[in-house]
């Protein structure tokens, strides 16, 4: 799908500070005005110039022809008993544009909330709020649907409808921030909602720059995670463009090409013989690890021999493994694994020296995966969906 050249006037939330400077120079406005508008959007979630109280009326009038509004809005929100918030997102004034989902995930009650990193403070509901906060992880979407066609995934079964713009990706976090409770802050952002982020590389890369920009949301790069089914050239590009600072999660799901190609058609294009070396080459910072996601499908990829083969395949790569018990989807013949098989799978990998976590579902009455919500519509929100543990916060061995 061709990606049109970016135009600030069409997607103000996707604009980088230097683009605001240039666009303001063209309309005879000074750079500090540009930065003011950028901050209204990215630190206060306000995109309508009418609400930017310290901006001159003449400037607001000049901006009136730009698409100066939040591109996303809440179609439906549901809060589970554990305070997980699931938001069905629609695109303002564009009913034909489809829906995606985003999920706010508070820390587990037993989760260590301390922050021992030398990193920027988390993103609070208001700029300037820097007190210790309950650190929330937000899962966001990068496309409406997905072209990758993984057989166990609702987004894959539905196919790709469109790429989100950078502004639509970032605006999910700006919107998510308005749904925080007092004392909470968004600490991690994971691109694990609907879509294959690296298939929408340009918009995702732009969104990553915005999410981590010090004049904006200012998230720490290591606390932003891109999850991919394994687009090898784009993994390399991400590593290069961000010097390995953006956290990488790879959806592996099988330890050999035969099985992986059955489950994930992308493996026919980029087999393990290309993917694994690309992971080895990812320019990880010291003491950092790649998250490996492995969805366990009953009787398909969850047996002891698969665990042993996985241990051999990943030897020498700094990884953290997340085992995800399959969430059954309508129309696909895959089932949840037996609990004992999950524990055995974990045990084999742990014995081989890996950090392995079993991803706990979050929210109530869990019966759908992140990525399924928007496809099933708002009714599914009420039934709730599971949420993904942040790779950056999953080191506490709660499996």
Which residue is nearest to ligand SF4, using beta carbons?
156
- Exposure b/e, 296-313, CB count within 10 A at least 16 = b: bbbebbbbeebbbbbbeb
Question: Is-catalytic flag, 19?
Answer: no
Say which residues have a Cβ less than 8 Å from residue 47's Cβ, sequence separation at least 6: 12, 13, 40, 41, 68, 69, 70, 171, 174
Q: Which residues inside 136-175 make contact with ligand SAH, applying CB under 6 A? A: 146, 150, 152-153
- Least distance CB 226 / ligand SF4 (angstroms): 12
Q: Residue 260 and residue 125: Cα distance in Å, rounded?
A: 42
Query: Active site includes 150?
Result: no
Interaction between residue 228 and ligand SAH (CB under 6 A): yes
Beta-ladder partners of 102 = 87
Q: Which is nearer to ligand SAH, 59 or 326 (CB)?
A: 326
Contacting range for ligand SF4; rule: CB under 6 A; set: 60-68, 144-152, 330-338, 348-356: 144-152
Q: Is the CB of residue 191 less than 8 Å from the CB of residue 226? A: yes
What part of residues 329-388 is at the interface with ligand SAH (CB under 6 A)?
A: 329, 369, 371
Q: C-beta of 288: minimal distance to ligand SF4 in Å?
A: 22
Which DSSP state fits 174?
A: H
Q: In the stretch 239-258, what mask flags binding to ligand SF4 with x, by CB under 6 A?
A: ------------x-------
Residue found under tokens 């920009």: 213
Q: Are 376 and 145 in contact (CB under 8 A)?
A: no
155 binds ligand SF4 (CB under 6 A): yes
Q: How many residues bind ligand SAH (CB under 6 A)?
A: 18
Residue 229 is a binding residue for ligand SAH (CB under 6 A): yes
Q: Is 196 in the site for ligand SAH (CB under 6 A)?
A: yes
Q: Which among 153, 184, 370, 389 is annotated as catalytic?
A: 370
280's tokens = 């080895």
If one asks whether residue 150 binds ligand SF4 (CB under 6 A), the answer comes out as: yes
E strands in the chain: 72-79, 85-91, 99-105, 134-139, 143-145, 160-163, 184-191, 224-228, 247-251, 290-296, 319-325, 355-358
Interatomic CA distance for residues 191 and 138, integer angstroms:
9
Binding range to ligand SAH, per CB under 6 A, among 35-43, 75-83, 225-233, 310-318:
225-233
Residue in 46, 144, 153, 204 binding ligand SF4, rule: CB under 6 A: 153
Comparing CB distances to ligand SF4, the nearer of 263 and 342 is 263
156 part of the interface to ligand SF4, by CB under 6 A: yes
User: Within 319-348, which residues bind ligand SF4 (CB under 6 A)?
Assistant: none
User: Of 101, 184, 293, 389, which residue is the catalytic one?
Assistant: 101
Burial, 127: exposed, middle or buried (Cβ in 10 Å; 0-12, 13-18, 19+)? middle
126: tokens are 């208001």
Indicate the DSSP class of residue 259: H
How far is 217 from 44, CA to CA, in rounded Å?
9
Pattern 359-378, ligand SF4, x by CB under 6 A: ------------x-------
Q: Binding of ligand SF4 at residue 148 (CB under 6 A)?
A: yes
Whole-number Å distance between alpha carbons of 59 and 367? 49
Indicate which residues carry an active-site annotation: 101, 370
The contact set with ligand SF4 (CB under 6 A) reads: 146, 148-150, 153, 155-156, 195-196, 229, 251, 371
Judged by the rule CB under 6 A, the positions of this chain that interact with ligand SAH are: 146, 150, 152-153, 192, 196, 227-229, 251, 293, 295, 324, 326-327, 329, 369, 371
């Amino acid at each position: 799908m061709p990606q049109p050249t970016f135009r600030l006037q069409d997607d103000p939330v996707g604009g980088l500070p230097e683009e605001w400077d240039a666009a303001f120079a063209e309309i005879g406005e000074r750079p500090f005005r540009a930065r003011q508008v950028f901050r209204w959007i990215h630190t206060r979630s306000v995109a309508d110039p009418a609400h930017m109280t310290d901006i001159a009326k003449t400037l607001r009038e000049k901006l009136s022809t730009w698409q100066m509004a939040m591109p996303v809005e809440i179609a439906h929100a549901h809060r589970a008993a554990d305070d997980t918030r699931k938001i069905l997102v629609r695109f303002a004034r564009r009913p034909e544009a489809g829906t995606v989902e985003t999920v706010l995930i508070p820390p587990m009650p037993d989760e260590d909330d301390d922050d021992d990193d030398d990193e920027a403070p988390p993103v609070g509901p208001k700029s300037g709020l820097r007190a210790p906060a309950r650190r929330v992880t937000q899962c966001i979407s990068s496309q409406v649907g997905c072209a990758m066609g993984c057989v166990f995934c609702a987004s894959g079964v539905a196919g790709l409808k469109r790429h989100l713009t950078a502004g639509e990706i970032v605006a999910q976090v700006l919107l998510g921030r308005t749904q925080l409770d007092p004392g909470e802050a968004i600490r991690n952002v994971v691109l694990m909602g609907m879509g294959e982020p690296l298939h929408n590389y340009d918009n995702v890369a732009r969104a990553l720059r915005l999410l981590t920009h010090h004049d904006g949301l200012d998230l720490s790069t290591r606390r932003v995670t891109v999850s991919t089914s394994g687009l090898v050239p784009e993994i390399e590009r991400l590593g290069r463009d961000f010097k390995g600072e953006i956290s990488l999660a790879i959806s592996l799901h099988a330890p050999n090409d035969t099985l992986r190609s059955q489950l994930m058609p992308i493996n026919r294009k980029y087999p393990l013989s290309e993917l694994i070396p690309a992971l080895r080459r990812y320019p990880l910072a010291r003491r950092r690890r790649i998250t490996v996601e492995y969805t366990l499908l009953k009787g398909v990829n969850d047996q002891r021999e698969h665990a042993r083969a996985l241990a051999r395949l990943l030897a020498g790569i700094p990884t953290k493994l997340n085992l995800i018990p399959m969430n059954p989807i309508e129309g696909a013949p895959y089932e949840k694994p037996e609990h004992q098989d999950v524990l055995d799978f974990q045990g084999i990998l742990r014995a081989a020296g890996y950090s392995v976590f079993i991803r706990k579902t979050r929210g109530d009455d869990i019966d759908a995966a992140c990525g399924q919500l928007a496809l099933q519509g708002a009714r599914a929100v009420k039934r709730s969906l599971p949420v993904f543990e942040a790779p950056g916060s999953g080191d506490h061995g709660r499996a």
